[in-house]
Structure 1
Amino acid sequence: MDNRPETRICVAKVIEDLLKYSDTRVALFQRKPPESWLEHMHDPDADALSVFTRIFCFMVNKDYIHTGILQAILDAQNSLDDPNPSLRACGATVLLIMGTHDILCEVCSVHACIERYIEGATRRDADMILQRMEYFGILKQL
């Protein structure tokens, strides 16, 4: 199987185009459920990640993804510190989309409170606590 960045980008662009049509979208989601697409948000290639970010944002906006969003938000926040401007742009795009869904407000509020009020807590500690809160159902459906 060819797993070069160029191949992933090409395939992702085709999928992005196919998702625009409801009949092909249904067929794609039968083969690969929307939640399973989150794994592609960790693509090491910035150009491929850009296309996968657009696909992810499309699925969030169309209300296809309901779980696993917390990790995407945390990754997006962390990418804002990346030296690569393409990765920062992907992170900013995800955060903007999440901001339209009330999810970002809850995550950022809790994250900031953890860092502020738990002495010695780092960003990574806050991420871990949020993940545990999600796991135990304390956060809204993220």
Structure 2
Amino acid sequence: MSLVETVYQGEMDKVRGELCIMKNEKAVLESKLVGYDDIVEEVSPLKATVASLELEKIGLMDKIAMSNHTICVNFGRKDGSEMMNAEYNMGMHETDLPLYDPTRVQKMEELNTLVGRAGGSTTSTSGHGGSGEPRIVWCAG
């Protein structure tokens, strides 16, 4: 006994229509895929360039860190202040102290000692309303 089912023409047309729609969608998706492959081909060299620039940036940062930097000590310009006296006593006039200079630490300690002796002065000597201590700014040297 064979089972044969009759499929009506309307149902066949409906299935054929859906198949045609799916084929069109497949073609659209395939064309998008080709476009994405082209984008990936364009982006890959850009990614490599960005990666190399990041490495160069890291290299430059290392070079900057290893290069001779200075600390710029900016003393306030206020007549009669204890800081001006400390500056005068140390023979320093808005100077640069090399970071790796062995005397830098000694000069900074002397400066801090002199500022510490001035003690409770509330007069701003750095021109920025601070506590009377010099403003230290990092500079490339």
- Tell me which of the two structures has the higher relative contact order, counting C-alpha pairs closer than 8 angstroms and 6 or more residues apart: 2
Tell me, yes or no, whether TM beats 0.5: no
Query: Which has the larger helix fraction?
Result: 1
Report TM bin, short chain: under 0.3
Query: Which has the larger strand fraction?
Result: 2
Calculate the TM-score normalised by the size of structure 2.
Answer: 0.25
